[in-house]
Structure 1
Amino acid sequence: MERNVGPLDARIRVLVGIVLCGLALAVARGVVGVPLISSLGLGIAGVVLVVEGSLRRCLLYQLLGINRCPRETK
């Protein structure tokens, strides 16, 4: 699978993923008053975003035929 996530999009994904992981930890420790099961969902979403941003590959973009990665010039 080739890269299909642009550099700005990748940075935003990593940043949002880190924030979601931090929020998941806060929920798990009881700092935020929401149900504990939402901690698992937030954690999974955060990890997925960090991995997608780091690898610059998105399965959903692939399925929809979206490519936001700029063309490399030779």
Structure 2
Amino acid sequence: MGEPAEHLITCHLGEILDARGMTLAELSRVAGVSVVNLSVLKNDRAKAIRFSTLTAVCLALGCTPGDLFSVRTQ
């Protein structure tokens, strides 16, 4: 069984940053994750995320993975 052609995960990083008045550069500094990697997440272009990155982002934003991501139903 192969992978689906397109995943149904949506990243809400942009909305969370906006709600906190935070920029990608600030999050990068606090979380220790590159701006490039955060930009890929924010723009929904990521195909995967390391648990260490997810942990760092969630700790820096005070959120959970469930706050950061949702699954579309199509």
Tell me which protein shows more strand as a share of its residues.
2
Query: Normalised by the size of structure 2, how large is the TM-score?
Result: 0.34
Tell me which protein shows more helix as a share of its residues.
1
Please say which structure displays the higher CA radius of gyration. Answer: 1
